């Protein structure tokens, strides 16, 4: 009973005429064929299928030219809301000089990537890498293709390359005015080898990048045609509902499948588990509803292992205790901070605590897999398709060349879809079946089996001199992970190089282990580290009796050891000016400021971001974030300012939801929260105004923009709360705090 | 066996009466534009129209919609030219896009009964969640669609 789109549409034209009332609106709008053509699919609605036809010519693995000049770009990144198909295409087309209105984009093949010796270089979508890591080789691919197309035209006309120009995919022989289109010379170009690779443009030469470009991704997203992983449908496909051990690292003791085997549509009950696969049981049926309802009735007994009584409260106690324990790893040691602290005119001390957080995207986790003796197919939205392929190979023993990862559009990733646990589980389930199976996680399962942003406890002690400026700084962080990482970047980034002028410093950390899985969460460490760092700076400013903006400014200005100090000041000033910092505000309203950059240990690029939150708190303690003014360093260019702005907005929303109400807590070894009622997203009614102020503060390209603003949401909001109420927030979420300052 | 009228077409489906309409649409019929988000009427990703009203199909037993007119995102317009879809494209509203079919269906039901909604009407009537925070663009696009529809 599967209908093609064509049938649907024809059918619609006939049948809607009989439908009245509320549907008049849909019918009264005139059909506009020009616009429809402009919106024709430029991205395949089944993203794993190629748009490229037989008569089109691949110039290099990144791009294909059709006889009618249509250019198809291969995108080696996953799309989950960043508009990466548009940005990726722009980076190539900046050099290609083709007609942008004829550009289409599709996923690069993961299978081919492996068969052809990593031809797409890097397919992971994480670490703000899409532009930072890929831009130059994408520009190079575009430039190289352009030069080969030009060389082909020169050959056709037997003229020198230097007599040719190109614009919008039309090559002109300047002396004679003759013209050739890309589509006419593509085949010839494919055979041409360049004597040397052309130079690529520098940012000041960009004509396509740095300008807002409407998103290629949009049309598919307004008519239901885009296929997310959860929408995959295959002939003969079964559906599975899975339940993993509620206590992490537990095991299946036994289950009684006779209770559900005869229920409608049920095909099988299978077990899964093993290294990096949380053990559990799945019911396989002819529809998800049948599978899910049967799973709900399946009696399962679990072996909870040793963690069945663990609680997040207990983890917190452990971390607090670790603050006093010896043997911490020292990251920064400068001068004699203990002595300076003793001699200081004033001492300020604070301990900050943060909960586990889930990623809470809209598309529940899912993966579809088909496993046969000599071939594996996986349909999934993943941020790491290469690892998905390797995992599938390991689990099935099928050679890599015969494994196909069909990447899908993703209904939000935020770091969670780096993990591929959904892939491993689905492959293991599919191995036990002779048909493709789509495994869909319920919302509850998605929430309760995350790879959470880790809990943290951090202590700061600072000594201030007689002028109120810090002379000593002692900071210890306790990182809590399931598997303490060899590289503790998440725990230390941002804190490892405090930008403010402080002569005596000590920064060290302990790592502690619990059984709760942890992973990266957009901003990778910054949403925690910046909360306490920039809150504590605010505490120091207030202790010194100084304006928090001016206090930071003075400490940056005075820091000759920090190479980015000047750029920071520019961004800080922009945020302060644009937000109206210092202006008189109504009673109960206040502002908080925070600044930082996206520095990662071992990466030279940064993105500086400063946020001013304008907040109001009623006497009863009702909080409203009125506005965020976000000053964002662009460096010399942004690939697509339109997408960049939206990425910043998304981070404000994500950060604010976490600040207000989100926390994952552990009771009896398992996650308490389950769905949007106890893990709430930000609602439309709570949406602040968000003003993004782009500012060119540095000459070097920035590190990225998709996760470089989130860190400053929490401190700016909490600093504003202090400005209004005098209450210092040292733990989140705010729902656990009473912000009231009196009756009324 | 239930007979359902969806997007102007009649489907016979063999499912249990309590099956949520969402899963009949997605799994039995194959109309996957309607999304599963929470299964508890909390998010609105599964919003469809039943007799012109916005309904959260994840908690709507199929037996109760027999004989009613059901419209999904796929059936909102034959060529994705509903004023809301035009406005949505103009404003590049979606981010990850997953909540957007539900948002558009909720907005369409609102516009059908209130052709010129105020900001307050929109925030009161459309309670769908968007993880990516597209709320301001959604609001703008609804105003724009109201304009487009008035001109048509
Ligand atoms: S899936 Fe129906 S409201 Fe969330
Ligand atoms: S656009 Fe991503 S959830 Fe709304």
Q: What does the pLDDT look like over B25-82, one tens digit per residue?
A: 999 999 999 999 999 999 999 999 999 999 999 999 999 999 999 999 999 999 999 9
Q: Contacts of residue B45 in chain A, CB cutoff 8 Å?
A: 362
CA–CA separation, B45 vs A413, rounded Å?
17
Same domain, yes or no: B105 and B54 = no
pLDDT tens digits, one per residue of A288-335 = 999 999 999 999 999 999 999 999 999 999 999 999 999 999 999 999
pLDDT tens digits, one per residue of B79-138 = 999 999 999 999 999 999 999 999 999 999 999 999 999 999 999 999 999 999 999 999
Same domain, yes or no: A506 and A396 = no
CA of A299 to the centre of ligand 2 (A): 36
Q: Give the mean pLDDT of chain A.
A: 93
Residues 6+ apart with CB under 8 A from B26: A231, A288, B32, B34, B36
Same domain, yes or no: A240 and A171 = no
Angle, CA of A228, A233 and A237, to the nearest 5°: 135
What number of H helices and E strands is found in chain B? 5, 5
Q: Which residues of B6-15 are buried (b: 16+ CB within 10 A; e: fewer)?
A: bbbbebebeb
Burial of A543 (0-12, 13-18, 19+ CB in 10 A): middle
Residues 6+ apart with CB under 8 A from B107: B84, B122, B126, B138, B141, B142, B145
Same domain, yes or no: A616 and A725 = yes
Given CA atoms B19, B23, B29, B34 in this order, what sign does their dihedral have? positive
Residue A7 has pLDDT above 70, yes or no: no
Same domain, yes or no: B43 and B96 = no
Given B54, B75, B96, which residue is the final one in a domain?
A: B75
CA of A157 to the centre of ligand 1 (A): 62
Residues 6+ apart with CB under 8 A from A565: A499, A556, A557, A559
Same domain, yes or no: A427 and A467 = no
B133 touches chain A (CB under 8 A): yes
- For residue A118, count other CB atoms closer than 10 A to its CB: 11
Q: Which two tokens stand for residue A347?
A: 């001492």
Number of domains in chain B: 2
- The distance of B70 to chain A (nearest Cα, Å) reads 11
pLDDT tens digits, one per residue of A581-612 = 999 999 999 999 999 998 777 788 899 999 99
CA of B99 to the centre of ligand 1 (A): 10
Atom of ligand 1 nearest to the CA of B46: 2
The arithmetic mean of pLDDT across residues A675-702, rounded, is 96
The ligand placed nearest to the CA atom of residue B98 is: 2
Q: Could you write out the DSSP letters of every residue in A268-312?
A: EEEEEEETTEEEEEEEEESSHHHHHHHHHH--EEEE-TT-TT--H
Predicted confidence at residue A160, as pLDDT, reads: 97
Predicted confidence at residue A22, as pLDDT, reads: 32
Predicted confidence at residue A39, as pLDDT, reads: 52
Same domain, yes or no: A350 and A369 = no
Given B49, B75, B101, which residue is the final one in a domain?
A: B75
Q: Mapping DSSP to helix (H, G, I), strand (E, B) and coil, where does residue A388 land?
A: helix
Domain that holds residue A390: 229-306+365-440
Same domain, yes or no: A597 and A557 = yes
How confident is residue A744, by pLDDT bands cut at 50, 70 and 90? low
Residue A344 has pLDDT above 60, yes or no: yes
Q: Which two tokens stand for residue A576?
A: 């302060």
pLDDT tens digits, one per residue of B54-63 = 999 999 999 9
Task: Give the residues across from A272 on adjacent strands.
Answer: A280
The number of C-alpha atoms within 13 Å of A104 and in the hemisphere containing its C-beta is 27
Predicted confidence at residue A11, as pLDDT, reads: 34
CA–CA separation, A377 vs A369, rounded Å?
6
How confident is residue A743, by pLDDT bands cut at 50, 70 and 90? low
Predicted confidence at residue A316, as pLDDT, reads: 98
CA of A558 to the centre of ligand 1 (A): 54
Same domain, yes or no: B91 and B56 = no
Domain that holds residue B12: 2-75
Given B18, B44, B75, which residue is the final one in a domain?
A: B75
- B82 vs A642: CB contact, 8 Å cut-off? no
Q: What pTM was estimated for this model as a whole?
A: 0.94
Same domain, yes or no: B87 and B48 = no
- Best of A84, A87, A221, A647 to disrupt the B interface (most B CBs within 10 Å) is A221
Residue A29 has pLDDT above 90, yes or no: no
Q: Which two tokens stand for residue A365?
A: 């986790």
Same domain, yes or no: A533 and A480 = yes
B121 touches chain A (CB under 8 A): no
- A224 vs B89: CB contact, 8 Å cut-off? no
Residue nearest to atom 3 of ligand 1 (CA): B41
In this structure, of A15-24, A227-236, A255-264, the range with the lowest mean pLDDT score is A15-24
- B27 vs A288: CB contact, 8 Å cut-off? yes
Angle, CA of A368, A373 and A374, to the nearest 5°: 90
B105 Cβ inside 6 Å of ligand 1: no
Residue A9 has pLDDT above 60, yes or no: no
CATH number of the domain residue B57 falls in: 3.10.20.30
Residue A375 has pLDDT above 90, yes or no: yes
Predicted confidence at residue A486, as pLDDT, reads: 74
As a whole-number percent, the residues of chain B with pLDDT over 90 amount to 98
Same domain, yes or no: A634 and A578 = yes
CA–CA separation, B12 vs B16, rounded Å?
13
B56 Cβ inside 6 Å of ligand 1: yes
The H or E element that residue A378 is part of is strand A376-380
Q: Contacts of residue B31 in chain A, CB cutoff 8 Å?
A: 224
Residue nearest to atom 2 of ligand 2 (CA): B96
pLDDT tens digits, one per residue of A463-499 = 999 999 999 999 999 999 998 887 788 899 999 999 9
B98 Cβ inside 6 Å of ligand 1: no
Nearest Cβ partner for B129 among A21, A649, A683: A683
Greatest CA separation for chain A: 88
Same domain, yes or no: A137 and A243 = no
Q: Mapping DSSP to helix (H, G, I), strand (E, B) and coil, where does residue A24 land?
A: helix
SS3 per residue for A139-176: HHHHHHHHHHHHHHHHHHHCCCHHHEEEECCEEEECCC
Same domain, yes or no: B108 and B146 = yes
The arithmetic mean of pLDDT across residues A106-127, rounded, is 95
* Strand bridging mode A666-667 / A670-671: antiparallel
Nearest CA in chain A to B22: A289
Q: Give the mean pLDDT of chain B.
A: 97
ipTM over 0.90: yes
Same domain, yes or no: A280 and A380 = yes
Task: Give the residues across from B56 on adjacent strands.
Answer: B47
Same domain, yes or no: B36 and B89 = no
pLDDT tens digits, one per residue of A624-645 = 999 999 999 999 999 999 999 9
Angle, CA of A66, A68 and A70, to the nearest 5°: 55
Same domain, yes or no: A584 and A652 = yes
A516 touches A356 (CB < 8 A): yes
Predicted confidence at residue A586, as pLDDT, reads: 97
Residue B87: C-alpha distances to residues A30, A684, B138 (Å): 14, 19, 9
Angle, CA of A724, A686 and B95, to the nearest 5°: 130
Residue A14 has pLDDT above 80, yes or no: no
- The distance of A293 to chain B (nearest Cα, Å) reads 10
pLDDT tens digits, one per residue of A161-220 = 999 999 999 999 999 999 999 999 999 999 999 999 999 999 999 999 999 999 999 999
Residues 6+ apart with CB under 8 A from A248: A278, A307, A482, A515, A516, A517, A669, A670
Q: How many residues in chain B?
A: 152
Atom of ligand 1 nearest to the CA of B58: 2
Residue A695 has pLDDT above 70, yes or no: yes
CA–CA separation, B1 vs B95, rounded Å?
39
Same domain, yes or no: A140 and A279 = no
SS3 per residue for A599-634: CCCCCCCCCEEEEEEEEEECCCCCEEEEEEEEEEEC
Number of domains in chain A: 3
pLDDT tens digits, one per residue of A541-582 = 999 999 999 999 999 998 998 999 999 999 999 999 999 999
CATH number of the domain residue A394 falls in: 3.30.365.10
- For residue B147, count other CB atoms closer than 10 A to its CB: 13
Structural domain contains residue A274: yes
CA–CA separation, A470 vs A460, rounded Å?
12
Atom of ligand 2 nearest to the CA of A221: 1
Nearest Cβ partner for B133 among A289, A410, A653: A653
Structural domain contains residue A620: yes
CA–CA separation, A531 vs A526, rounded Å?
8
């Amino acid at each position: 009973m599967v209908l093609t789109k064509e049938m649907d549409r024809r059918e619609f034209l006939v049948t809607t005429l009989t439908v009245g009332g509320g549907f008049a609106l849909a019918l009264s709008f005139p059909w506009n064929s020009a616009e429809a053509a402009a919106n024709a699919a430029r991205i395949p609605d089944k993203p794993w299928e190629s748009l490229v036809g037989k008569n089109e010519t691949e110039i290099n693995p990144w791009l294909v030219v059709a006889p009618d000049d249509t250019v198809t770009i291969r995108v080696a990144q996953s799309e989950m809301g960043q508009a990466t198909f548009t940005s990726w295409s722009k980076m190539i087309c900046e050099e290609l000089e083709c007609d942008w209105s004829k550009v289409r984009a599709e996923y690069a093949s993961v299978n081919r990537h492996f068969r052809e010796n990593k031809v797409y270089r890097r397919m992971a979508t994480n670490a703000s890498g899409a532009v930072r890591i890929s831009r130059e080789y994408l520009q190079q691919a575009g430039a190289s293709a352009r030069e080969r197309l030009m060389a082909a035209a020169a050959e056709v006309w037997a003229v020198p390359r230097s007599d040719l120009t190109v614009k919008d995919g039309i090559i002109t022989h300047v002396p004679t005015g003759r013209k050739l289109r890309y589509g006419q010379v593509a085949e010839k170009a494919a055979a041409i080898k360049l004597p040397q690779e052309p130079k690529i443009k520098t940012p000041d030469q960009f004509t396509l990048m740095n300008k807002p470009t409407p998103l290629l991704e949009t049309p598919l997203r307004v008519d239901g045609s885009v296929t997310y992983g959860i929408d995959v449908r295959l002939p003969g496909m079964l559906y599975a509902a899975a339940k993993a051990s509620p206590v992490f690292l537990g095991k299946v003791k036994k289950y009684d499948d006779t209770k559900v085997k005869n229920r409608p549509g049920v095909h099988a009950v299978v077990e899964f588990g093993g290294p990096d696969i949380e053990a559990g049981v799945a019911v396989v049926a002819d529809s998800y509803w049948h599978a899910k309802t049967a799973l709900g009735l399946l009696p399962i007994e679990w072996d909870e292992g040793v963690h069945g009584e663990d609680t997040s409260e207990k983890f917190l106690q452990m971390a607090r205790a670790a603050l006093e324990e010896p043997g911490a790893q020292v990251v920064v040691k400068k001068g004699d901070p203990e002595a300076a602290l003793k001699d200081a005119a004033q001492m300020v001390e604070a301990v900050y605590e943060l909960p586990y957080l889930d990623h809470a995207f809209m598309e529940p986790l899912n993966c579809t897999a088909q496993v046969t003796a000599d071939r594996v197919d996986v349909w999934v939205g993943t941020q790491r398709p290469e690892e998905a392929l390797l995992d599938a190979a390991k689990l099935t023993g099928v050679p890599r060349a015969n494994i196909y990862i069909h990447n899908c559009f993703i209904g939000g990733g935020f770091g969670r879809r780096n993990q591929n646990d959904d892939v491993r589980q689905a492959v293991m389930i599919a191995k036990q079946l002779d048909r493709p199976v789509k495994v869909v996680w319920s919302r509850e399962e998605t929430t309760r089996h995350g790879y959470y942003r880790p809990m943290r406890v951090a202590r700061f002690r600072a000594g201030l001199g007689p002028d109120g400026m810090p002379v000593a700084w002692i900071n210890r962080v306790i990182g809590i992970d399931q598997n303490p990482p060899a590289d503790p970047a998440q725990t230390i980034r941002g804190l490892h190089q405090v930008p403010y002028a402080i002569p005596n410093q000590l920064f060290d950390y302990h790592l502690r282990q619990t059984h709760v899985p942890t992973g990266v969460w957009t901003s990778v460490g910054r949403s925690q580290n910046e909360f306490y760092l920039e809150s504590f700076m605010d505490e120091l400013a207030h202790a010194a009796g100084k304006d928090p903006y001016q206090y930071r400014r003075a400490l940056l200005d005075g820091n000759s050891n920090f190479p980015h100090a000047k750029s920071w000041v520019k961004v800080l000033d922009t945020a302060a000016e644009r937000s109206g910092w210092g202006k008189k505000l109504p009673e109960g309203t206040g502002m908080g400021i925070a600044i930082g950059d996206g520095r990662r240990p071992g990466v030279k690029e940064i993105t500086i971001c400063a946020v001013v939150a304008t907040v109001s708190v009623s006497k009863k303690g009702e909080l409203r974030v009125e506005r965020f003014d976000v000053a964002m360093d662009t460096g010399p260019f942004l690939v697509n300012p339109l997408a960049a702005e939206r990425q910043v907005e998304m981070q404000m929303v994500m950060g604010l939801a976490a600040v207000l109400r989100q926390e994952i807590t552990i009771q009896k070894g398992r996650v308490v929260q389950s769905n949007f009622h106890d893990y709430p997203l930000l609602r439309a009614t709570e949406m602040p105004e968000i003003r993004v102020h782009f500012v060119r503060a540095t000459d070097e390209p920035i590190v990225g923009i998709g996760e470089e603003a989130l860190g400053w949401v929490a401190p700016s909001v909490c600093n504003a709360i202090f400005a209004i109420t005098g209450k210092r927030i040292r733990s989140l979420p705010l729902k656990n705090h009473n912000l009231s300052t009196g009756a009324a | 066996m239930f007979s359902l009228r969806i997007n102007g077409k009649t489907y016979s489906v063999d499912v249990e009466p309590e099956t949520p309409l969402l899963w009949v649409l997605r799994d039995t019929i194959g109309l996957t534009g309607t999304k599963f988000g929470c299964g508890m009427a909390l998010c609105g990703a599964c919003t469809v129209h039943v007799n012109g009203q916005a309904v959260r199909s994840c908690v709507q037993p199929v037996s109760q919609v027999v004989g009613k007119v059901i419209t999904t995102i796929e059936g909102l317009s034959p060529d994705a030219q509903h004023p809301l879809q035009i406005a949505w494209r103009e404003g590049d509203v979606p981010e990850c896009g997953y909540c957007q079919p539900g948002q558009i269906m909720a907005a369409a039901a609102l516009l059908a009964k209130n052709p010129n909604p105020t900001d307050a009407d929109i925030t009161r009537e459309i309670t769908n969640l968007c993880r990516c925070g597209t709320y301001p663009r959604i609001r703008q696009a609804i105003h724009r669609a109201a304009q487009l529809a008035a001109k048509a």
